[in-house]
Amino acid sequence: MQKENEVYEIDKLLQKLWGALQPALQDIKATKPDGTPKASDAYTAFFTDKANIPSVGDLLTNITTGASALSGNFAYSVNGSPVFLSITERGEISANLDGEMTDMWDYYIKKPNSTASYLRHTPYIILFPYFWNSNPPNVYGDAPPAPVGDNSASNCLTVSKTFNRFQLNDALKFGGNLIQWRTWILMEELVHYYTNQARGTANDIQNANLLFGLPPWIQINTAQAYMYYAACIYGKCKDFPDRQRGIELLETDGSQGLPANETKGPPGFEVLDATDVQIHQESD
């Protein structure tokens, strides 16, 4: 199971995530003078519908408090609250994946670019060695750069006014260095945990343009909607496509080529349908 230093590092990352989410929590609670919710440009870009503001706010709050969305007792999680498990070798965690008991280390060996996976219907989020060792484009570092004063952070996305879309080249089509930081990756898996328990769905859609054009019922179940929203608020990002123009010019990147109803993310980030999860705890 995870080494003592990794437990310490996970705790540090969660503390950083808590701090990075505070601006988004303030933003989601903003109201107009008449007391009705005020949807910011960042919220509108990635969630569209103001009716979902309470649900988005509740999920972000749950992440910062570690609230449980599962009932029952689990190893390392007595109340079903989400827990991160970092694997380091064979024989630590196994699960039934697609009808076959699989050692999660063997799963990692077959997919060495795997970074993190949420095991659906459990409180477990698996962190693979690549989470700690990877280099761009999958992971840029522990935490994103903070904005300086009222300026936007250096890693904010920009918009092509001509095409009313985020400017995403091949390096940026999966969010680039806006969301590929360890703090946001932890958030990604936590969102999977909460949306799966709330609505039985946990989507990954990294392409910001594709995500912008999807209907709200898909956006609210997609981890990257929360990540982009929180990262943009944290970074004081100000450049977003104009939703009033519609999305007739907001085409999918040619390199991506995904229809609007597909839910795909980058390699290394997966939600796994796992049953009969077995954690081999070390004896004292």
Tens of pLDDT, residues 173-231: 556 678 888 999 999 999 999 999 999 888 888 888 889 989 999 999 999 999 999 99
HSE at residue 225, side-chain half, CA atoms within 13 A, is 33
> Most confidently modeled of 91-100, 134-143, 220-229, 255-264?
220-229
More confident position, 226 or 153: 226
The DSSP symbol for 283 reads P
Residue 167's contacts (CB-CB under 8 Å, 6 or more residues apart) are: 157, 158, 159, 160
pLDDT at position 269: 60
pLDDT at position 255: 37
HSE at residue 171, side-chain half, CA atoms within 13 A, is 8
Backbone angles phi, psi at 55, to 5 degrees: -65, -40
pLDDT at position 235: 94
**CA gap 247, 125 in Å, rounded:** 35
The secondary structure element, H or E, covering residue 271 is: strand 269-279
Tens of pLDDT, residues 244-261: 875 544 444 433 334 333
pTM: 0.88
**pLDDT surpassing 60 at residue 96:** yes
pLDDT at position 263: 40
Contact 193, 80 (CB under 8 A): no
> Most confidently modeled of 5-9, 17-21, 108-112, 155-159?
17-21
The secondary structure element, H or E, covering residue 171 is: none
The secondary structure element, H or E, covering residue 118 is: strand 116-120
**CA gap 176, 185 in Å, rounded:** 13
